[in-house]
Amino acid sequence: MTDALELDALWEDFHRAVNMTSQELAAWLRVSDATESFEPLPDRAGTPTGQHVLAILQKRRTDLTDEDIRVMYQVVDTVEDQTDVADEPVAEDSERRHRLMTIGHDPLKP
């Protein structure tokens, strides 16, 4: 497992990268998976990573597992990589925005 200082930094980085609340993320996951004829159960909506981010948002730092920490690093790296793309603003790229929202980051949020 990660040492305490590294975990503190990761916790802060993760919560900075994931700027959607757990309620916002849960709602987005349901909407993004819904079709005209099908709406998934709330606990099964979205990607596995999106569901894992939602679960992490509902945990205390002391309850994190090694898998949670791996996902947190993955999410922070993904958000940094996707928002550092200089060729096109994220806000104007709805596909990229929706991909980021699936892991809890809405680039249109301040």
Written as six digits, the tokens of 11 are 């916790």
Dihedral sign for Cα atoms in the order 79, 101, 93, 36: positive
pLDDT band at 90 (very low <50, low <70, confident <90, very high): low
Q: pLDDT tens-digit profile of 77-88?
A: 999 998 876 555
Q: pLDDT tens-digit profile of 13-68?
A: 999 999 999 999 999 988 765 555 555 555 665 788 999 999 999 999 999 999 99
pLDDT band at 108 (very low <50, low <70, confident <90, very high): confident
CA distance 46 to 27: 10
Helix residue ranges per DSSP H, 1-110: 4-17, 22-33, 48-57, 66-83, 94-101
Per-residue pLDDT, averaged over 101-108, amounts to 92
Phi, psi torsion values for 31, nearest 5 degrees: -65, -45
* Residue-level pLDDT at 94: 84
Contact status, residue 76 vs residue 86, Cβ threshold 8 Å: no
Which pTM was predicted?
0.83
